[in-house]
Structure 1
């Protein structure tokens, strides 16, 4: 059976994460929420400690903490606190506290590097079920709310005039981001999730003429990076999570060169 091979499971996991991260990453780029994504991702390591402490699935623990962080940052934004400063403090504090909390788990053997940088080669069938379930839920939600989310992103006044609540749409984005972080932690780790949210959309932006095209192209870049990074990691015996991000970064560099070439010819 295909799923008996750990390489097939790893490939399917990478594709699932890319499929969820790409369209959401477009909104992260458009709204300039890169720090927000990092803060939510870094907080997930606290979720790992929570899950191991109470003997529950890591996905569930990461989801609870990521949802809490996303809700906290969303509620504090705009309350006389510089958003970038707030996100920086929360991101680094959550990561440090999470690592310290994990160190207190004496009766649990844990590979901390796997949660920080991912361990896609250790993905199980149950992990695949969680990843693809979360990915399909994210894609379905974004497809359903696409028009409202896009309008609220482009112009909040226009959104209100159209009967759309920008605050509600932002909350939907933040909660969706928490789900993506939770399903991605096994594949690329908390330190690299932000890169998978940002780099593929940034690479796709050069070739896209519409927001919908950018989301589709970003998905293609993300999936190609996941599979290409997996193959490169297998061939060169390098860490898989960072290699996936490195391939995505190479795609961004290539797209930037193409974009500059177009500007010169124009």
Structure 2
């Protein structure tokens, strides 16, 4: 039986976290929030949420580790609490919570799969982010030798916890903005089915992004280099999958 929960990494989003939690409350599922070394304003809001939300569990990291580090901490916390699947959702209001029922339906139907959003963006998306996504998609198609991995940068996804944590333990992916990309590619290599759900993603006016153009692009570039050479070692298996028509 699937034991589902929500996982929210947060770093300095005191303006939006209450609304994000409120949108999840009707599901009456455990909510694991990982405070990634946030400021005092965010800590105050989180303390208030914990006090009035009985199924919310807060895990506080002593210092900022990056989005990937916070997500991995949340995955581990959820698994230790007996959960089997965790829906990661960002704290900043970018993700369309109306799609959550479809994510859970897909996870119940395909419990071994990684269920990910396939973002549909509006005019609020900055041009620099559009270009960066296209570059990453190009490299991911090479690293997987497949066009089936449609988007690796969306942080709106349901993880099968046991498989995900096994992948993390074996390869220890990056802890910052490179995490979402790397974990999906490595789970694909592992043979984990990946399914995509179209979902609207917005960049809220006045929203706060923690993407650091130079530092994070440098980390992502190094990650793609590692994954490219990793693909070369796995190329025969990846090609064999395609030849036999695998859905993975």
Q: Which has the larger radius of gyration?
A: 1
TM-score, structure 2 normalization: 0.28
**Hey, which of these two has a bigger chunk of helix by percent?**
1
TM-score, structure 1 normalization: 0.27
**Hey, which of these two has a bigger chunk of strand by percent?**
2
